[in-house]
Structure 1
Amino acid sequence: MAMGEETVTHPGVVKKIEGDKAEISVISKASCISCSLKNVCSVSDMKEKIIEVDIADLGGHHEGESVVVEMKQSYGTWAVLLGYFFPFLVLFFGLMLFLHLGLDQGLAGILSIALLAPYYGILYLMRGYFKKRFRYHIQN
């Protein structure tokens, strides 16, 4: 990774090394670090996530070792855009188009929601591309 790029880091543990991939377990906690009640949060506010990392990025770590996983912050921005903002635009412009064509409001709403199926279908078909593009690295 280039120097000076903003990154997001998470501590994790190497769970499994298989072939050219390693699985890293990261505990995701609710974003309540500044909350005065953070000590009374339940375990349900934490979730284990498994992240896949290339062996080349592992840097000699072994199963059970603690590591720090990092990803470019811009990837998170793109994930939010692809998952929330662009679907909103599809809904909004689809609804405006169907209403402009003179369809009933209920039918226009249903059809604009139906436009999300091809959108998410395309994202699903492109999952291989996104898996290569949105990569995690082990911090050195």
Structure 2
Amino acid sequence: MENKGNIFHRGVVKFVDDHRIVVGIVSQSACVSCQVGGSCNMSDMKEKEVEIENWNGTYSRGEFVEVIASESQGFRALFVAYILPLIILLFTLIILLQTTGNESLAALAALGILVPYYGILYLLKEKIKQTLNFSIRKLK
């Protein structure tokens, strides 16, 4: 797979069966790579699991691998998870503030509008999962 336009994450195979591979990826904040990265706390590191359903080769539990996704998938995930909710929140806040003049109501409604948004995302997670295609390769 070509390097240009892809996102790479190193991880460890946690589970393998005939239908899927589950890879654990440790996500780190950008400050971890700086010279004072040791002063960052462990909350900057989070383990995430990625399910891969189509792969070539044989993999075993505990093996170090690299998970690959396209940049466009990364941007789409970023948009759906962070940018669109921010736009919805700000839009709701501004509209309600202009129409009611009540800051407390506008703030609560703006935060409250995110509950159904993320609820809908949760209900659609299987459909969203089908649009995300990860590939995997062994580390050398």
CA-based RMSD: 2.5
Aligned residue number for residue 31 of structure 2: 32
Residue in 1 that maps onto 2:5: 6
TM-score by length of 2: 0.80
Could you state the TM-score of these two structures normalised by the residue count of structure 1? 0.80
Q: CA deviation at 1:69?
A: 0.9
Q: Residues 116-135 of structure 1 correspond to what in structure 2 (within 5 A)?
A: 116-135=114-133
Report deviation, 1:30: 3.1
Write the distance in 1 (CA, Å) between the matches of 2:116 and 2:4: 34
Change (3 A) 1:61 1:101: same
User: Offset of 1:131 from its aligned partner?
Assistant: 0.9
Structure 2 runs not aligned, ≥5 long: none
Amino acid across the alignment from 1:18: D
1:30-68 superposed Cα distances (whole Å, 9 cap, x missing partner)? 323651223x356724433222111x3142222332221
Please show how residues 86-105 of structure 1 align to structure 2 within 5 Å: 86-105=84-103
Query: How far apart, CA to CA, are the structure 1 residues paired with 2:125 and 2:47?
Result: 22
Aligned length: 137
Matches within 5 A, 1:23-62: 23-32=22-31, 34-38=33-37, 40-41=38-39, 44=42, 45-54=44-53, 56-62=54-60
Q: Structure 1: state its 5+ residue gaps.
A: none
